[in-house]
Chains A and B, each alone.
Chain A
């Protein structure tokens, strides 16, 4: 299903349909996250991918154009690049542990420690929250700062011109 949606995105010309399909893609991947036990992630993906991203892409389309122009470039070189990269990636996965294997290196070190220590050190049921906010508080602080910076960047890019264009209306929103 996911692959079908992705291929549909490749084939489509109408950007509106692409925006909708990317929302569908996000919802499908949220379902996949639920089956992989990552309920928090699925929650975020559903809210962000299907909600906010779609609105943002649609907002951009309203400001730009609705259709993609057919490109004249030949798809041979990109296809070649993609196949070589894909082959390298799949070659890289050959040494990976089996899916769901409890002996995988990823399950051996910090993961179980967090699960065990969190019970008496943090004492809240949702281990994801306890790692997010406490064990890895630095990471989360950094990520909040990234979100903050991206927001400032968007404001710098998009609200400067508006002020110039509507100088006469600038009475109640000086701080924009």
Chain B
């Protein structure tokens, strides 16, 4: 790999590690928790940590926000942070909330259909449905269903 664990190296990478930890917290909620609303919140945490990762890549030391003075008299000595990640993430946030709303709408429909939003209960109900259907149609299909 060819890197040394100097103090500068650790400080320069601490941000990536912090965002990885946050991302994994979100992933853990999505994987381990059964409540669908909680899963969506976990997904949001995951998403926000990805946003932070992108924005931290665009940061330049001693840089400032990429907005020029009003008279457009740009001083060449001023360092501006990279505006490209900002644009990507800005739109991603709004798209993210729209898709979150879509997920929540699905949850509301699931609640109305199954009367629960716990993953385990939904699985149980679905299994019961499949079994009754098999019992009804199984004979007609020669026992293969």
Contacts and interface: CB of A to CB of B under 8 A. Distances in A.
Do A and B come into direct contact in the complex, CB within 8 Å? yes
Interface of A: 2-3, 6-7, 9-10, 15, 18-19, 22, 25-26, 29, 32-33, 36-41, 44-45, 48-49, 52-53, 56-57, 59-61, 63-65, 68-69, 71-73, 75, 78-79, 81-83, 85-86, 89-90, 93-102, 104, 106-107, 110-112, 114-115, 119, 123, 125-128, 131-132, 136, 139-140, 143, 146-147, 150-151, 153-154, 157-158, 161
B78 to A, nearest CB: 10
Given A37-B81, A127-B66, A131-B84, A71 B120 contact: yes
B94 A147 contact: yes
Contacts of A32: 52
B86 A128 contact: yes
Contacts of B117: 64-65
B141 to A, nearest CB: 33
Given A110-B84, A150-B99, A69 B35 contact: yes
B140 interface: no
B82 A29 contact: no
B90 A115 contact: no
> What secondary structure prevails in chain B residues at the interface with A?
helix
Interface in B6-46: 8-9, 11-18, 20-29, 31-35, 37-38, 40-42, 44-45
Cβ-closest 3 pairs across A and B: A98-B12, A150-B98, A78-B32
Interface centre among A100, A131, A139 (most CB of B within 10 A): A100
Contacts, number: 278
Interface size class of chain B, counting residues whose CB lies under 8 Å from the partner chain: 35 or more
A162 to B, nearest CB: 11
Contact of A127 (B20, B57, B60, B67): B67
13 contacts: A2-B22, A9-B45, A10-B28, A18-B41, A19-B41, A36-B56, A39-B65, A71-B118, A86-B20, A93-B17, A111-B82, A140-B91, A158-B105
Nearest to B110: A64
B32 A75 contact: yes
A121 B40 CA distance: 42
Interface in B83-98: 83-98
B55 A41 contact: yes
Contacts of B55: 33, 36, 38, 41
B48 A39 contact: no
Contacts of A52: 97
A38 B101 CA distance: 25
